[in-house]
Amino acid sequence: MLMVNGIIDAWRAGASLPNPGERSMPVLTVDRRAPGGDLYTPLLELAAARARHYLGSIGDRRVGPSRADIAALDQLGGALTKEGRDPVAILDLLDRVGSPATMAVMGRRFFGGVIGGSLPVTVAAHWIADAWDQNACLFELSPVTAYLEEVVLEWLIDLFGLPRKSAGALVVGTQAAHVTALAAARHALLAKAGWDVEQDGLFGAPPITVVVGEEAHATLLKALALVGLGCRRVVTIPVDSQGRMRVDALPKLSGPAIICAQLGNVNSGCCDPLEALCDAARQSGAWVHVDGAFGLWASTTPDRRHLTTGVELADSWATDGHKWLNTPQDCGIAIVRHREALRIAMAVSGAYLGEPAGRDPMRWCPDSSRRGRAIELWAALGFLGRRGVGEQVERTCRLAARFADGLRRAGHEVLNEVTLNQVLVSFGPDDLTDRVIRAIQEDGTCWCGGTTWHGRRAMRISVSSWATTEADVDMCVDTMTRAYRQTP
Ligand SMILES: Cc1ncc(COP(=O)(O)O)c(C=O)c1O
C-alpha cells in the first residue's frame, strides 16, 4: 500500500534531524562570568542539549515509564527549600528524574490517544515563543501573536471548508472550545427568546433543550455543566453500531435547543451524520455544535471528507491543534458561524483596556492573560501547507487500517469499522483483554490504553503522530501478538 507522506518525507530527507547516535548525556557547565551577564544563553544551550538527547534517544527507551521511573519522581518533591537552587542543578534534576517519567509521545509508537507528538518545527517555534513570553490578550500588548491568531483562524476556517465569515478563538483544548462555543450558542438562543444571559444569568431564563448522542465525549458533558446547561438534563439519543447518533431518534424540538454532534468518536472514530442532523435542526431553529476534537481534520483530505459531509451547515465547531495536527499541547480551537454571538458572549470591558488597536484575542475567548497559541499553529500549518495537512490525516488513517489488518490476520477481533485513525481490538474475554493490555504496556515497545465499548473491554489504538511508520505498526502488531500468546 502506498503511504502518502510527501511533505514530511521530503523534509525528513533533506533535514538534519537530531542525531540518533547521540546517546550520551551532554554535560554542560555554566560560566557565570559569561560576558555581558548573559544568563540565558548557557541555560538555553543546556536545555537544548538535554532536549536533543531526550529526542535522540527516545526510540531506545520504553514508551510508557517504568514503575521505578515513576517512584523516582519523589526526588522532585519534598518541602520547598528555604534558599533557591542553582538553575543548572534545577535543569539537571528535571531532566534526570523527569524525562524517564514522561510518556514517550514524541517517539513513534505511542497510540494511547490522539496525542500526536509535536512536529519539529512547532517545538522550535515554541522555543522562540518562550523567548518572547508574550501575553496574547490584547493587540496592543502583543501585535505579533494577535495578528497570527487572525491569520491561523482564517486558514483553519478555509481548510475545514467552514463559512468564511465565522469567528474563532484559540483556547486550551477542545473542552474549553466547547465552553466557548456553547456560551455563544446560549447567548444567541436566549437573545432570540428575549433574554440577556450575560447580564441576567440563567436563573429564570427560558429553558434550552440540549440533545447529545449516547456516546458524547465526557468533556462535552463537562462543558455543558460549566456553562450552566447541566449534564443530567440533556436529552440523550441512541447511536448505531459504530456510535453515530441516530437521526431518526431525534425528538421533535421546539423553543431554544442545541444539538451536540460529534466528528470522531473517541473509541471508534466514527462521525455523526451531520448533514441530516443539520437539516433536522434547521426546521426547529436549533443550534448545532460539533465536537470535532480530531474528526474535524478528516475534512482536510479528499479521501475522508465524505465522513464530514454537511460540516459547514453547523453553527459551531470545537477542535484541537494538539491532536492530529501535531502541535504542542494547549492548542484548542473554537469556531462559531455567528460572529456577533461569540463577540457578545465573550465581551469584556474595563477602563484599562482602552480602544482596540486591532483584533484583541481576549474579546473572543474566555481567557484574559494567555499564551500565544497561534505561534505553533502558524508554524505547523505553514510547514505542512494544505496538502501536508491532508497527507498527515490520510497516512495515519492508513496506518490505523494496517494495524487492523495485521491484528485480524493474527486472529484478533477488531470491534469497529476503521474509518479514521482509531482501532478497537479485543483479545477475548474482558479480563484477558485487560491482562494483555497490561502486558503490552509492561513490554514498553508501544503504549495503548483500554476502554469499554458496547459492553466489551477493548484495547484502543489511536494513530496520530507524523513520525509513526509502517515498520512501527508491523513491529507493534508482533509485540501485541506475542504479549497475547504469553499472557496466561
Ligand atoms: C471526541 C473528543 N472530544 C473532546 C476531547 C477533549 O479534548 P481536550 O482534551 O483537548 O479538551 C477529546 C479528547 O480526547 C475527544 O477525543
Convert the pLDDT of each residue in 215-267 to its tens digit.
999 999 999 999 999 999 999 999 999 999 999 999 999 999 999 999 999 99
Q: Given the C-alpha cell 472514530, which residue does it identify?
A: 269
Q: What number does the ligand 1 atom closest to the CA of 265 have? A: 1
Q: What number does the ligand 1 atom closest to the CA of 176 have? A: 11
Q: What is the mean pLDDT of the chain?
A: 93
Q: What is the whole-number distance in angstroms between the Cα of residue 220 and the centre of ligand 1?
A: 8
Least trusted range by pLDDT, from 37-46, 144-153, 177-186, 238-247: 37-46
CA distance 117 to 110: 9
Q: Is 293 in the pocket of ligand 1 (CB under 6 A)?
A: yes
pLDDT of residue 189: 98
User: Residues near 94 by Cβ (< 8 Å), separated by ≥ 6?
Assistant: 76
Is the pLDDT confidence value at 22 over 60?
Answer: no
Q: Is 112 in the pocket of ligand 1 (CB under 6 A)?
A: no
Q: What is the whole-number distance in angstroms between the Cα of residue 174 and the centre of ligand 1?
A: 5
Pocket test for ligand 1, best of 175, 271, 331 (most atoms within 8 A of CB): 175
Q: Is 269 in the pocket of ligand 1 (CB under 6 A)?
A: no
Q: What is the whole-number distance in angstroms between the Cα of residue 175 and the centre of ligand 1?
A: 6
Report yes or no: 352 and 360 within 8 Å, Cβ to Cβ: no
Q: What is the whole-number distance in angstroms between the Cα of residue 332 and the centre of ligand 1?
A: 9
Q: Is 270 in the pocket of ligand 1 (CB under 6 A)?
A: no
The residues with which 171 forms a beta bridge, in sequence order, are 332
Is the pLDDT confidence value at 400 over 70?
Answer: yes
Q: Confidence class of residue 38 from pLDDT cuts 50, 70 and 90?
A: confident
Is the pLDDT confidence value at 354 over 90?
Answer: no
Determine the CATH number of domain 128-380: 3.40.640.10
CA distance 1 to 155: 31
21 versus 394: the higher-pLDDT residue is 394
Q: Is 465 in the pocket of ligand 1 (CB under 6 A)?
A: no
Q: Is 268 in the pocket of ligand 1 (CB under 6 A)?
A: no
Q: Is 175 in the pocket of ligand 1 (CB under 6 A)?
A: yes
Is the pLDDT confidence value at 157 over 70?
Answer: yes
> What predicted TM-score, i.e. pTM, was given to this entire model?
0.94
Is the pLDDT confidence value at 366 over 90?
Answer: yes
234 versus 13: the higher-pLDDT residue is 234
Is the pLDDT confidence value at 341 over 60?
Answer: yes
Q: What is the whole-number distance in angstroms between the Cα of residue 420 and the centre of ligand 1?
A: 15
Q: What is the whole-number distance in angstroms between the Cα of residue 293 and the centre of ligand 1?
A: 5
Q: Is 174 in the pocket of ligand 1 (CB under 6 A)?
A: yes
Q: Is 462 in the pocket of ligand 1 (CB under 6 A)?
A: no
Q: What is the whole-number distance in angstroms between the Cα of residue 422 and the centre of ligand 1?
A: 14
pLDDT digits (tens, 9 = 90+) for 212-226: 999 999 999 999 999
Q: Is 320 in the pocket of ligand 1 (CB under 6 A)?
A: yes
- Tell me the average pLDDT across 99-122: 96
356 versus 18: the higher-pLDDT residue is 356
pLDDT of residue 24: 53
Domain layout of the chain by residue ranges: 128-380
Backbone dihedral angles phi then psi of residue 225, each to the nearest 5 degrees: -65, -45
Q: What number does the ligand 1 atom closest to the CA of 264 have? A: 1
Q: What is the whole-number distance in angstroms between the Cα of residue 177 and the centre of ligand 1?
A: 10
Least trusted range by pLDDT, from 8-17, 22-31, 251-260: 22-31
Q: Is 367 in the pocket of ligand 1 (CB under 6 A)?
A: no
Q: Confidence class of residue 358 from pLDDT cuts 50, 70 and 90?
A: confident
Is the pLDDT confidence value at 313 over 60?
Answer: yes
Is the pLDDT confidence value at 3 over 90?
Answer: no
Least trusted range by pLDDT, from 58-62, 273-277, 305-309: 58-62
Written as one letter, the residue type at 325 is: L
Is the pLDDT confidence value at 4 over 70?
Answer: no
69 versus 16: the higher-pLDDT residue is 69
Q: Is 464 in the pocket of ligand 1 (CB under 6 A)?
A: no
Q: What is the whole-number distance in angstroms between the Cα of residue 219 and the centre of ligand 1?
A: 6
Q: What is the whole-number distance in angstroms between the Cα of residue 81 and the centre of ligand 1?
A: 38
Least trusted range by pLDDT, from 24-38, 54-68, 409-423: 24-38
**Order of strands across the sheet that contains 413-414:** 413-414, 422-426, 456-462, 449-453
Q: What number does the ligand 1 atom closest to the CA of 295 have? A: 1
Q: Given the C-alpha cell 514508551, which residue does it identify?
A: 63
